[in-house]
Amino acid sequence: MGLKPTKKLVLIGNGMAGMRTVEHVLKLAPDAYEITVFGAEPHPNYNRIMLSSVLAGGADLKDIVINHPSWYAENWIKLHLSEEIVKINNDKRRVISASGIEADYDVLILATGSSPFMLPIPGARKEGVIGFRDINDCERMMKASRHYHKAAVIGGGLLGLEAARGLLHLGMEASVVHIHPYLMERQLDEPASRMLQRELEAQGMKFLLQKQTAGIYGQRRAEGLEFADGSSLAADLIVMAVGIRPNVDLAKAAGLKVERGIVVDDHMETSVPGVYAVGECAQHRGITYGLVAPLYEQGSVLAKRLAGVETPGYTGSVTSTKLKVSGVDVFSAGFFADTPGTRSLRIQDELDGTYRKIVLQDDKLVGAVLFGDTSDGASLFAKIKSGESVAGKEKELLLGYAPGQAANASPASRLAAMAGDEIVCGCNGVTKETIVNAVKNGCTSVGEIKACTKASGSCGGCKPLVEGLLQLYAEGSSLEPVKEGICGCTSLGRDEIIASIKAMGLKSVKEVMNVLEWREPEGCTKCRPALNYYLGMLWPSDYTDEKESRFANERYHANIQKDGTYSVVPRIYGGVTSPADLKRIAAVAEKYDVPMVKFTGGQRIDLLGVKKEDLPKVWEELNMPSGYAYGKALRTVKTCVGSTFCRFGTQDSIGMGVRLEKAFERLNTPGKVKLAVSGCPRNCAESTIKDLGVIAIDGGWEIYVGGNGGVKVRVAELLCMVKTEDEVVEWTAAFLQYYREQAGWNERTAHWVERVGLESIKGALENHEERTALVERLEQTLSRSTDPWKEIVQDAELRKNFEPLPKVEPIMK
């Protein structure tokens, strides 16, 4: 600090908008003010928009802190936490807190934020009814998930979907209740919304659309929702995510002009001179904003005003939105509705699951919606904000590339073509040029770029672009970019982790995290399953599988469906069954009222709609091995009838398939594995699009690897030709074990073979001694494995996980 400040600045509200203003003031005029901050919460400034990531397991509460207490001290800021200001005295220019702390001011900033809007319906004050706005709400959801099972989220907007995804991660059934016909109607049009709904349903989320909540029933605690149409929904945790309400009571009591929010001018000044408002509590030109980017723009303008820097003022914001839900990419900006005077262009690819829509008005881009591939979001948003003419470029904007250019242009070439002034981080207004300069000035990791420029420091949606720019521009300089780890909890990659486990003899997930200095001591949903797999692969005789580090489907040994029930798939070797097994399956299906019995594409029988509490009994009475339809393991071995019946068959494909399936069932692998055996080159079992496929030829067998029949089809490559069935088993075992030892967690064989190359795999397997060693290591692993459903049947403690939770008797009736 230089000269002693002559003016006193008081900030009411320790949130993102107010503290961003203070940060700018410190940069522009570090010695101008003596700063005091009052925060009603007990926490330092944290990233509120990352709360959904905390619920979903992608971050911990301490990871989302923006300014730690030490930062306030280093900048000579007086910080009062858990201190709510209850009175503003305009005449004395003084504020008073609930505990009696007083602070005088020359400049006062109100950044009181907003509160979740709670529907004024009967039962809204019952226990178990909460909003989703702050850390306290987050912690209440986590606590509830340990005791209750069914959650209902009222509101199908951005926040509601993020809350529901977090609740799914916590192990709760999550139903989203929405009054509109489709989700996120403020950000998406109907086609994009329907695609989003299908994607979220596949993750286990359930939806009740066009439902108006009339009340919440239950005695002391909420037990469910009642709807205006007379229907109801059982739920023991209810989250309201239907909007926000600016916190204006303090301003209104102080005599400031208040409408929906605290009314401010273009310099964020209220009706009282020297008193300013910024963030969600402020109303500018009749509009209140709830997204972070406009609030930061307001803070920047106010900071310049307070520092004496000339500024044209704040004129409003064009907003963009990205949904922070794992596995779903959604982007929306500007005005997306089809209104008079606008022209809409759209393209939809159901195979790749992508959708693009642009809205034009007077040859200008005024809106865009992207689903599935949002890589062009930043460039489209830049054109919306600039207001430049896009006449003649409509097709380029719609397709994402100019006519005549390659549709699959590399990400690097796209980044290189970006203009320097194009915004990469919309939340913080960081341009490509700013990030490139940071890289050239010595930033060698995304974390350093974030610390230097704030890029990726808010919602995190721009992180892939920041990573791409780092890689692109670090290569052209003397910098070596720091490699990102397997997840945000560590900077270590897969190979480094495995080498450390071997060298140090680490034998548990917790030990790995402690010794290798994990940033997050409990890990996350990305690293815990990976470490659990790596330890089991490296120490098959000594390591005990850690059930809590597995995904829910693997813990329950069944696939959760969109209605909250489960799918049970017993093993049917090679697609061949018997009358006795069919009778057993039929008896179980009848006894437990299974709604659907389906033949799968992998030649098995799927019991769909099994209740969670019935799973142990269903498995016990089936008394059949699990088909692992839920696991990263051998799923199926598809076969044709081969020489047993077919006049074209040259080998016994059924027998070969059954032998392979019995040999490798229960084998854990980095990704799911599917096999197939065809009895002749006609390939009726589709062996050339499987992880490993076997095709019979005259006098022998061909073995193909690295195929995939999913969204991106990949034809398998010929690994070798062998003469006997024993050789098929040997080469298959060696290939699977080599894949287990070399591939990354969650990496399918198609990606792995493509990444390392078939020749390197052939080189590793062609030596008979090395192949034998691989087979022996695989057999050692299998010798210790048992069918997992038997643990549920035999272990009373495990069975408790499947019992329905008892209803809590109310204390008062």
Tens-digit pLDDT profile for residues 517-571: 887 777 777 788 899 999 999 999 888 888 777 776 777 788 777 566 888 888 8
Instruction: Tell me the H-state helices in 505-550.
Output: 509-515, 527-538
Distance CA 439, CA 43 (A): 32
Quote the pLDDT of residue 634. 92
Paired with 639 in beta bridges are: 677
Say if residue 31's pLDDT is above 60. Answer: yes
Residue 325 per-residue DSSP state: B
Q: Do 772 and 598 touch, CB atoms closer than 8 A?
A: no
Q: Do 771 and 761 touch, CB atoms closer than 8 A?
A: no
CATH architecture for residues 633-786:
2-Layer Sandwich (3.30)
pLDDT above 70 covers a percentage of the chain that reads 90
Quote the pLDDT of residue 406. 47
Residue 752 per-residue DSSP state: H
Over range 230-250, report the average pLDDT.
96
| pTM > 0.85 | no
Q: How confident is the model at residue 402 (pLDDT cuts 50, 70, 90)?
A: low
C-beta atoms surrounding 649 within 10 Å: 20
CATH topology of domain 118-241: FAD/NAD(P)-binding domain (3.50.50)
Q: How confident is the model at residue 810 (pLDDT cuts 50, 70, 90)?
A: very low
Sheet holding 692-697, edge to edge: 634-639, 673-678, 692-697, 700-705, 717-722
CATH topology of domain 329-406: Enolase-like; domain 1 (3.30.390)
Task: Kindly report, residue by residue over 69-112, the tens digit of the pLDDT.
Answer: 888 988 899 999 999 999 999 999 999 999 999 999 999 999 99
Identical fold for domains 7-114+246-307 and 118-241, yes or no, is yes
Q: Do 96 and 53 touch, CB atoms closer than 8 A?
A: no
Over range 178-185, report the average pLDDT.
95
Over range 191-211, report the average pLDDT.
93
Q: 559 φ, ψ to 5°?
A: -95, 125
The mean pLDDT value of the chain amounts to: 87
Distance CA 22, CA 306 (A): 10
CATH architecture for residues 410-477:
Orthogonal Bundle (1.10)
Domain boundaries, the chain: 7-114+246-307, 118-241, 329-406, 410-477, 494-550, 633-786
CATH superfamily, domain 7-114+246-307, is FAD/NAD(P)-binding domain (3.50.50.60)
Task: Kindly report, residue by residue over 602-634, the tens digit of the pLDDT.
Answer: 888 999 988 888 888 888 899 898 888 888 999
Least confident range from 116-125, 337-346, 400-409: namely 400-409
Say if residue 689's pLDDT is above 90. Answer: yes
Q: Do 104 and 271 touch, CB atoms closer than 8 A?
A: no
Say if residue 3's pLDDT is above 50. Answer: yes
Least confident range from 122-136, 300-314, 610-624, 663-677: namely 610-624
Quote the pLDDT of residue 182. 95
